[in-house]
Every structure is written in structure tokens, then in C-alpha cells.
Amino acid sequence: MASVLAVRELRKFYPKVKAVNGVSFEVEEGQCLGLLGPNGAGKSTTIEMLEGLVKPTSGEILYRGKTLDANYRERVGMQFQHTALQDFLTVRENLNFFRSLYQRTMPLDQLIEACHLEDYLDRDHRKLSGGQRQRMLLAIALVNDPDLVFLDEPTTGLDPQARRNFWELVRSVKARGTTVVLTTHYMEEAYLLCDDIAIMDHGRVIARGSPQNLLAEHFNDSVLELPAAEVAGREIDLPLVHKEDRVEILSADVNAAVRKLLDAGLSLAQLKIRPRTLEDLFIQLTGKELRS
């Protein structure tokens, strides 16, 4: 598959911080790449360099095999983490305004339909709810019918319904063949939307692959969860991880683990068994300490 974006040894150094320190990856046509990482890992700086907004200290970014040029911004779409728009303009006026900035544009009615904006087109954009606003911002990111769209934490602060609704929109964008680069703090979102994931920390990519492959590479066990009260005072021949009001047991052989729990006389009525998740992997790779 052809690569839309290729990043080689990308670095961005500020006087006191190495924000990005040698990042390399490729994004294939029509794929969704998820950039994950704790706060300060270098995700936003990386995405801003990919968007052409921040100049790298060194390294190379190639769009369809060529270095970024003046035409690049005609071909890409962006949705920032925090975006303000001009006051007093309606949704329709904002869409038309941004459409006027590009040579190639998606027809307005197609854009409105794609992002479900029909019901509040003539509303002042400042009066939209969080979910409606994110859908409008996605529509703005798509006004030029881009080959490649950058979505920087687009669902942060949305309620679960609005978040799921937004995921559907991203899936429909992908279905059109558009390549997506997504940053998010929601592991479930990354697992569901991304074909490929790069986990960053301290300015570097520390793990890379599809969600399924990453989990398979790093874990061969499942998690068994029991209430802490159920386990208290019993002799169990399994490694236990105590977590507030519950206990986790990590085991590659779930059947054998369950047998040992039964042998120890535990009730399994509240036993939960789950496979490892991206969140487990994320915590394992980036640690548990609080980042600013």
C-alpha cells in the first residue's frame, strides 16, 4: 500500500526541552494512525510538525514522497484540540468562509450531510453543544475534501453519546478513503478507530503496530478480577495484584487459574475475566506516575 505520509528522524528541540527526539513512521493510504502518549510525550508537537505549523529542528516529513510545499495545506484537513472561530458567524457562514480559502472544496450539502449539521446551520457557532461543535469543526477540517486529515484529541470533553457519534463520523471519513492521523487519550477510541498505533513517550515512539498486534506482542495473559473482600484471608496459589476494592490475577491459562480459585474455596459469582486492553499496555509502557 502506498504511503501518504512518511516521517524520518523527526526532532523538535526547544531551549530547555527535547519535545520530539527522533520519530520515524509511515502512514499508509486510507489508514488511521493513532498517536498515543501521556501529556508531554510529544504527540501535539509531532502532529503540529506533520500539519506544517511547526518547523522541525531536524528530520524529514514527506507527503506522497515529496517534502511539504505550499500546496500541502490545500490537500490536508485539520481539527485542533482547541480551536476558536470568528465571533458572530453561523455554522453555515463558517463553512462557507473556510471553503473560500481552498481551491478544491467538498460541496456544502455533502459536507452538511456527512457531519449531520442540518439542524443548526443558521445558529451562531458559539451556541452549539460540545458534540455539535466538534462535528462542525470536523466539517471545517473536511471542507477541502482532504486526502489526509489530522484530528487532535477531537472527543476530549464530550459525553459518551457524542463521542460514539463522533466515532461514526470518523469511520465514515475513513470509508471515503481519507487517511486519518488521530491523537487521543481514550484507549477505547484508539482501539476502535485506528488501524495502526504509535505510542509515544519522552519524544520517542516506544511501541508501534496494529492494536491487535501490539496487544499480542506484549501480553499473553488475561485478567481475572475479583472483589478484594472475597479474596481476603485466603491462601491462593496465584500472583495477586491488589487494586483498591478489587484484586487482579494475571494468567496465561485462564482455566487453570479458575480451577485454583475454586480449590481455594472462593465464590466465582463476581469473577470478571477480560482480555488485556490498550490501556493496560499504555500503563505498562508509560508508567503510572502522574504527568503534568
Partner 1 sequence: MSKRLIAMIKARILEVLRDRSALAWNLLFAPLLVIGMATVFSGGAQTVAKVGVIGDLPLTAESNAFLGTPAVSFYKETEPDKAIAKVQRQRIDMLLDLRSHPSRYWINSESAKGSLLQKMLLVTEPAAQEQPVTGARIRYADWLVPGLLSLNIMFSSLFAIGHVIVRYRKSGYLKRLNGTPLRAFEFISAQLLACLILMVVVSGGIFTACNLLLHLRMEGSYLNLLLVAALGSMTMIAMSLLVAARISSEELSGGLLNLISWPMLVLSGVFFSLDGAPGFVQTLSQLFPLTHMLEAARAVMLDGAGLADIAKPLTVMALMTLLFLALGASIFRWTQD
Interface ranges with partner 1 (CB under 8 A): 51, 53, 70, 73-74, 78, 80, 82-89, 93, 96-98, 100-103
Task: Give the span between the Cα atoms of 224 and 227, in whole angstroms.
Answer: 10
Helix, strand, coil % over all residues of the chain, rounded to 5: 35, 30, 35
Distance in Å, CB of 137 to partner 1, minimum? 9
* Minimum CB distance to partner 1 smaller for 44 or for 132: 44
DSSP string, 154-176: TTTT--HHHHHHHHHHHHHHHHT
* Minimum CB distance to partner 1 smaller for 87 or for 244: 87
DSSP string, 31-85: -EEEEE--TTSSHHHHHHHHTTSS--SEEEEEETTEE--TTHHHHEEEE-SS---
Distance in Å, CB of 101 to partner 1, minimum? 4
* Minimum CB distance to partner 1 smaller for 83 or for 222: 83
Task: Give the span between the Cα atoms of 175 and 200, in whole angstroms.
Answer: 27
Distance in Å, CB of 111 to partner 1, minimum? 15
Distance in Å, CB of 88 to partner 1, minimum? 4
* Minimum CB distance to partner 1 smaller for 1 or for 70: 70
Distance in Å, CB of 86 to partner 1, minimum? 5
Asked whether the beta carbons of 193 and 182 are under 8 A apart, the reply is: yes
Asked whether the beta carbons of 182 and 33 are under 8 A apart, the reply is: yes
Task: Give the span between the Cα atoms of 246 and 135, in whole angstroms.
Answer: 39
* Minimum CB distance to partner 1 smaller for 53 or for 252: 53
C-beta pairs of 160-168 under 8 Å, 24+ apart in sequence: 161/131, 162/129, 162/130, 162/131, 162/134, 163/189, 165/116, 165/131, 165/135, 166/131, 166/134, 166/135, 166/138, 167/192, 167/193
Task: Give the span between the Cα atoms of 133 and 126, in whole angstroms.
Answer: 8
Distance in Å, CB of 208 to partner 1, minimum? 26
Distance in Å, CB of 97 to partner 1, minimum? 5
* Minimum CB distance to partner 1 smaller for 75 or for 202: 75
Task: Give the span between the Cα atoms of 85 and 5, in whole angstroms.
Answer: 28
* Minimum CB distance to partner 1 smaller for 78 or for 205: 78
* Minimum CB distance to partner 1 smaller for 51 or for 196: 51
Distance in Å, CB of 227 to partner 1, minimum? 46
Q: Which position has the grid cell 478507530?
A: 193
